[in-house]
Copies of this chain bind each other. A is one copy, B any other.
Amino acid sequence: MNETIERILAHRTVRDFEDRTLSAEQIETIVRSAQAASTSSFVQAYSIIGVTDPDKKRELAKISRNQAFVAENGHLFVFCADLHRHDVIGKMEGKDVAASLESTEKFMVGIIDAALAAQNAALAAEAMGLGICYVGGLRNDLEKVRDLLKIPDKVLPLFGLAVGYPTCINDQKPRLPFEHVYHENEYQQDDEVYKSQLEQYNNVITDYYVERTGGERSDTWTSQMAEMLSHPQRMYMRDFVEEQGLNKQ
């Protein structure tokens, strides 16, 4: 197996970083790697904001439920779906692009473009021996994030990517069974097979927790997920996204 695939399969989340900032060259390599990703019809519908200001980082850490690593890392990137540039382009070229930019289709394109770019960035960072953690917690309060980073209309911050020199590397959590995620020619139609795969996975996850915690924790994946999802989170999102001028029609 080659180096790239080994690296992909070895991914682990890092939430503890040395107090050592990334160099300008490292940041540039990470961003250029992000830019090399595919983009839908060449629209390049994303932007990346690097946050170095310590006050802003502290604010972003607070928003992310006080996760210290959001402030303390080698560099914090914020990935945004971005159709603001296309709004400017419409004006430059005298074309009416409003309906396109407000569409759910283009909202999806912006999210997909940003995420493809982010995963390239994450892998490039890991290839340099750095660790990474995505920060979905920014979505706890996007209004604050928007104000803090002076984000214009038609741009939506999606998540952070904290990068740095790892001091502590987490274990790799086992993923869903291959057969449960990968379907052939049609989505799995047999409910019993589908549920038995989830139960099989529950055993794997329970074993994982029991082993890691000396038996103190033994929950299943389905109980975790059901508990989490029974408390709806970030229900302001639909209105906020529309307020930013996206996902409106």
Contact = CB atoms under 8 A, between A and B. Distances in A.
Interface in A2-44: 2-5, 7-11, 13, 27-29, 31-38, 40-44
Contact of A89 (B33, B187, B225): B225
Interface residues of A, number: 119
Interface in A194-249: 194-195, 198, 221-235, 237-238, 241, 247, 249
Q: Interface of chain A, helix or strand or loop or mixed?
A: helix
A169 interface: no
Contacts of A247: 104, 238, 247
Contacts of A115: 111-112, 115-116, 119
A181 B112 contact: no
A82 B95 CA distance: 36
B230 A100 contact: yes
A34 B4 CA distance: 13
Nearest to A239: B104
Given A103-B232, A134-B40, A235-B99, A127 B4 contact: yes
* Residue among A124, A224, A225 with max Cβ neighbours from chain B (10 Å): A225
A235 B85 contact: no
B38 A9 contact: no
A173 interface: yes
A56 B185 CA distance: 8
A3 B4 contact: yes
Contacts of A95: 226-227, 229-230
Nearest to A53: B185
A28 B178 contact: yes
Given A31-B178, A185-B50, A4 B123 contact: yes
B150 A136 contact: no
Contacts of A8: 33, 36-37, 120, 123-124, 127
A194 B56 contact: no
B5 A97 contact: no
List of 8 A-B pairs having minimum Cβ-Cβ separation, nearest first: A115-B115, A93-B226, A4-B127, A119-B119, A97-B229, A104-B238, A95-B226, A150-B186
5 contacts: A38-B133, A47-B182, A49-B187, A95-B230, A103-B234
